[in-house]
């Protein structure tokens, strides 16, 4: 039930009276992933059209318990066109991983990963009309240190979606950049103090260098005015930087040798449900040669035992005769010569 229907990238074509194509709109999707308290919902509100659709507040545990989606402010992603003005983007907010609150329903990492997988496999048009994932926005909180739990989230996502497909489509976002600036911390200095695993991650992702977000002013302005960022005439620097990172990720995917295992293998840009299934099959334990041979022997033995039981013990006299005949070599006939006949 988790992996629902999926299909090709939705494209809507407007036809003229003569049947000529005059406009094409491509629907794309960005999914926000990360640990609890990273600020995913705030990022989603900065990209979405209208007032803040996602609940974002300070809390001792995760606020978001289920995945939910909203249309991005147009044109493009949060008011910035990625390719051209005919792209429509959707943003999906997901629950946080590594909550540690196992008593809270839906808080275990397996359940949260199931909610994230639902973003590319759901048959619910309201969650993700594109039925696929174009970009993973991996969100971290810059107001604290990068923890082992944050990095474990990355490994869980790589296993779930396939390391190559996830990393190629990944952009890293650090929220609460305003806290760093208030403390007089340089962004480059902050990155240099990150764990080696984080620096390795940044060198592997398609989005390249991370995006730092100061979202407090953006979300408060949107909360008091339902117009999109584009119509206010003041695009957030974060949205502009994010669009640049998405273009880098798109270029990495375009140059990749990986292909989707979905219905349309030529459409390698997005992750669909079939890719999740393929990743699960790839991480399944493989038997070694000896173990596989032993397994085949056990299967053959059980098959022979079943056959003997159904045949009432088999023809044991015939089996004994065949066994004895195999032990005694047959006597070769003696060829007679002309001298023997004399």
Per-residue pLDDT tens digits for 205-252: 999 999 998 876 555 445 444 333 333 446 788 999 999 999 999 999
Cis upstream peptide for 75 (omega within 30°): yes
Look at the block and give the residue holding tokens 């997988």: 117
**Whole-angstrom Cα distance, residue 281 to residue 3?**
14
Q: Which residues of the chain have pLDDT under 70?
A: 1-25, 56-65, 84-85, 99-107, 122-124, 216-234, 262-268, 286-288, 308-342
Q: What is the pLDDT of residues 23-36, one digit of tens each?
A: 445 889 999 999 88
The answer, as to whether pTM is greater than 0.85, is: no
Q: What's the pLDDT at 193?
A: 86
Q: Which two tokens stand for residue 48?
A: 């979405």
Residue (of 154, 158, 156, 163) closest to 194 by Cα position: 154
Q: Which two tokens stand for residue 294?
A: 């032993």
Query: Own/partner pairs for 275-281, CB < 8 Å, 24+ apart?
Result: 275/120, 275/161, 275/162, 275/165, 276/3, 276/117, 276/120, 276/121, 276/160, 276/161, 277/3, 278/162, 279/159, 279/160, 279/161, 279/162, 279/165
Q: What is the DSSP string of 103-156?
A: TSTT-SHHHHHHHHHHHHH---TTT-TTSSBSEEEEEEETTSPPPHHHHHHHHH
Residue (of 21, 68, 63) closest to 44 by Cα position: 68
Residues 6+ apart with CB under 8 A from 83: 26, 76, 250
């Amino acid at each position: 039930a988790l992996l629902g229907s999926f299909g090709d990238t939705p494209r809507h074509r407007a036809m003229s009276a003569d049947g000529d194509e005059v406009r094409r709109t491509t629907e794309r999707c960005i999914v926000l992933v990360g640990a609890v308290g990273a600020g995913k919902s705030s990022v989603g509100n900065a990209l979405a059209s209208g007032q803040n659709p996602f609940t974002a507040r300070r809390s001792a545990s995760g606020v978001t318990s289920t995945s939910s989606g909203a249309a991005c402010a147009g044109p493009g992603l949060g008011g910035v066109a990625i390719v051209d003005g005919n792209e429509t983007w959707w943003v999906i907010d997901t629950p946080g991983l590594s909550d540690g609150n196992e008593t809270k329903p839906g808080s275990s990492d397996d359940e949260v990963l199931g909610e994230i997988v639902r973003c590319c496999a759901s048959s619910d048009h309201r969650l993700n009309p594109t039925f696929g994932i174009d970009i993973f926005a991996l969100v971290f909180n810059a107001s604290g240190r990068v923890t082992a739990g944050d990095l474990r989230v990355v490994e869980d996502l790589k296993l779930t979606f396939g390391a190559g497909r996830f990393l190629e489509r990944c952009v890293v976002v650090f929220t609460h950049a305003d806290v760093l600036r208030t403390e007089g911390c340089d962004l480059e200095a902050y990155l240099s103090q990150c764990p080696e695993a984080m620096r390795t991650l940044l060198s592997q992702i398609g989005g390249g260098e991370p995006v730092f977000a100061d979202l407090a002013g953006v979300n408060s302005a949107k909360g008091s005015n339902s117009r999109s960022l584009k119509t206010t005439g003041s695009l957030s620097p974060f949205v502009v930087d994010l669009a640049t990172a998405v273009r880098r990720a798109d270029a990495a995917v375009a140059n990749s040798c990986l292909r989707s295992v979905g219905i349309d293998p030529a459409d390698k840009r997005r992750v669909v449900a079939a890719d999740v299934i393929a990743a699960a099959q790839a991480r399944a334990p493989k038997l070694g040669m000896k173990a596989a041979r032993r397994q085949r022997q056990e299967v053959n033995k059980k098959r022979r035992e079943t056959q003997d039981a159904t045949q009432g013990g088999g023809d044991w006299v015939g089996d004994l005769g065949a066994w004895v005949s195999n032990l005694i070599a047959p006597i070769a006939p003696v060829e007679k010569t002309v001298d023997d006949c004399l």
